[in-house]
Amino acid sequence: MEQKKIILTGDRPTGNLHIGHYVGSVANRLSLQEKGDFDKFYILIADTQALTDNADNVDKVKNNVIQVAIDYLSAGIDPKKVDIIIQSQVPELAEMTMYFMNLVTVARLNRNPTVKEEIKLRGLNASMPAGFLCYPISQAADILAFGSTIVPVGEDQLPMLEQTREIVRTFHSTYDCDIFPLPNALLPENKACHRLVGTDGNAKMSKSLGNCIFLKDEPEVVKQKIMNAYTDPNHIKISDPGKVEGNVVFAYLDAFCKNEHFARFLPEYANLDELKAHYRRGGLGDVKIKLFLNNILQELLAPIREKRKKLEQNVDEIYEMIFENSKKASEIAKNTLAKMKDAMGLDYYKFLKK
Ligand code: ATP
Ligand code: MG
């Protein structure tokens, strides 16, 4: 039987989507959607996962579900081609997680580099909820419930994919079966998009760190965030040589700038290499590169913001659509769960003497 192409990806509803999501994962989703080479395409809003470090802030998570859904649709996700679903509305995922938890050691979870980094960033340490440590397992359930084969994500998600593949292998060998395809991560082609830095220079733009440019930000806010972005603290006078590495403006230009932008917004240069060379030599001020970046981002974000304003009038319809999608997804997950239980021998119904 030919392997079906099932795409699954998602985001935590801990805030609105930012430009890191855009380049890290949304842009890839849009191009996959346009190519149309898939049997099914899910985008999962991971509210249950978001609760693993927001248990006392259910309202934040709950209210952001619709925000994230509106962000997807404004960015161009087409609900006719892609099913947006809510994790908590597919309860089978929690049951699958429970069985997978028995196949992963605590030592293995403690070694997950992304989880380690998040524990540090969020200062969790001793106060870390067990659910948070285990979220890579629940993510595996999200992926495997639908038989996903392609998972478009940013770089921080690679350890989660590795964990998922390990769970597949362990499940198959423990229960002597072969029910899950091995999923593959799909990273952006442009390496600069794998992990976009925060406006403060922090290694990752992240909703939880407050260093984001959001897709919904108003034009003045975008401009102000760019003007305040971290550059090179030793580049004080325009004539000073500047550093490109670790400079947030250049990191964003690496991710968003195309040669055509120079013709339109900064015709003195042919491409980014020339701009970088001038900055390194000295004689190029931060304001100029920031205004250039501002032009590029404003052009990208304007249509997204406009579409959002219209979608904000249709909240009920959007909720209905994602609830309906989640119900259908739940049927698929039920089927997977039944196969799992059969493979495990958890088949009590066989004791019935009918
Ligand atoms: P949180 O701070 O709540 O973890 P987040 O900003 O990290 O939020 P997630 O919902 O955890 O966002 O991530 C959703 C998807 O977006 C993942 O595929 C992740 O790899 C990608 N992503 C998130 N932040 C970035 C970034 N700064 N650069 C590239 N991709 C990113
Ligand atoms: Mg994250």
What would the pLDDT profile of 188-217 be if each residue is shown by its tens digit?
999 999 899 999 998 899 887 889 999 999
Does residue 1 sit within a domain?
no
pLDDT band at 132 (very low <50, low <70, confident <90, very high): very high
Give the relative orientation of helices 272-281 and 248-256 as an angle to the nearest 10 degrees. Answer: 170
Residues 64 and 172 in one domain: yes
- CA 52 to centroid of ligand 2, rounded, Å: 12
Residue 126 or residue 252, greater confidence: 252
Nearest alpha carbon to residue 197 among 215, 187, 209, 185: 209
Do 50 and 99 lie in a common domain?
Answer: yes
Give the gyration radius of the chain's Cα atoms.
22
Asked if residue 113 has pLDDT above 60, the reply is yes
CATH of the domain at 339: 3.40.50.620
Per-residue pLDDT, 1: 57
- Tell whether 43 and 191 lie within a shared domain: yes
**Does any domain span residue 16?**
yes
Indicate whether 235 and 272 sit together in one domain.
yes
In which domain, by residue range, is 291 found? 207-309
Q: What's the pLDDT at 203?
A: 83
Residue ID of nearest Cα to ligand 1 atom 26:
20
- The H or E element containing residue 259 is helix 259-265
List of residues 6+ apart from 326 with CB closer than 8 A: 85, 86, 89, 90
Residue 270, amino acid = A
Q: Tell which atom from ligand 1 comes closest to the C-alpha of 193.
A: 29
pLDDT of the residue at 354: 67
Do 121 and 241 lie in a common domain?
Answer: no
One domain, residues 241 and 161: no
Residue 202 lies in a domain: no
* CA proximity to 30, closest of 87, 67, 73, 68: 73
Question: Cα(116)–Cα(86) distance, rounded to whole angstroms?
Answer: 26
Domain edge (last residue) among 292, 309, 326:
309
Residue 295 lies in a domain: yes
For 13, half-sphere exposure in the C-beta direction (CA atoms, 13 angstrom radius) is: 29
What tokens appear for 337 in the block? 């769960």
Pair (67, 170) in one structural domain: yes
Cα 206 to middle of ligand 1, angstroms: 6
* Residue 183 and residue 78 share a domain: yes
pLDDT in tens, 225-281: 999 999 999 999 999 999 999 999 999 999 999 999 999 999 999 999 999 999 999
Which among 240, 117, 96 is positioned nearest to 179, based on CA atoms?
Answer: 96
What tokens appear for 122 in the block? 């969020």
| Exposure string for 201-226, b = 16+ CB within 10 A, e = fewer | eeebbbbbeebbbbbbbeeeebbebb
From the CA of 33, how far away is ligand 2's center (Å)?
Answer: 23
Q: Which residue has the tokens 């395809």?
A: 181
Q: Is 242 in the same domain as 121?
A: no
Both 293 and 340 in one domain: the answer is no
- Residue 308 Cα to chain centre, angstroms: 19
DSSP-based three-state secondary structure for 40: strand
In total, how many domains does the chain have? 2
Return the ligand number nearest the Cα of 18.
Answer: 1
Q: Quick one: CA torsion of 98, 101, 106, 107, rounded to 10 degrees?
A: -160
Compute, in angstroms, the gap from residue 111 CA to the centroid of ligand 1: 20
Cα–Cα dist 135/131, whole Å: 6
| Ligand 1 atom with minimal separation from the 204 CA | 27
Q: Measure the CA–CA gap between 98 and 121, rounded to whole angstroms.
A: 27
53 shares its domain with 154: yes
Sort residue 249 into left (φ over 0), alpha (ψ -120 to 50) or beta: alpha
* Domain containing residue 212: CATH number: 1.10.240.10
Question: Residue 99 corresponds to which amino acid?
Answer: Y
In a domain, 200, yes or no: no
Q: From the alpha carbon of 9, which atom of ligand 1 is closest?
A: 18
Residues contacting residue 339 through CB under 8 Å, at least 6 positions apart: 179
Q: Is the CB of 204 under 6 A from ligand 1?
A: yes
Distance CA 68, CA 54 (A): 17
3-state secondary structure of 24: helix
For the segment 148-159, the average pLDDT, to the nearest whole number, is 94
Q: How many other C-beta atoms lie within 10 A of the C-beta of residue 127?
A: 10
**pLDDT given for residue 209 in this prediction:** 82
Structural domain contains residue 18: yes
Q: In DSSP terms, which residues pair with 18 in a beta bridge?
A: 214
Task: List C-alpha distances in Å: 133 to 95, 116, 168, 195, 223.
Answer: 17, 9, 19, 22, 37
Question: Is 223 touching ligand 1 by the criterion CB < 6 Å?
Answer: no
Please work out whether the CB of residue 54 comes within 6 Å of at least one atom of ligand 1. Answer: no
Q: Classify residue 201: in a domain, yes or no.
A: no
Q: Are residues 121 and 34 in the same domain?
A: yes
Cα of 207 to ligand 1 centre, how many Å? 8
The answer to the question of residue 80 being in a domain is: yes
Write down the pTM of the prediction.
Answer: 0.94
Band (pLDDT 50/70/90 cuts) for residue 219 is very high
Q: CA 204, 51, 135: angle at the middle one, nearest 5?
A: 70
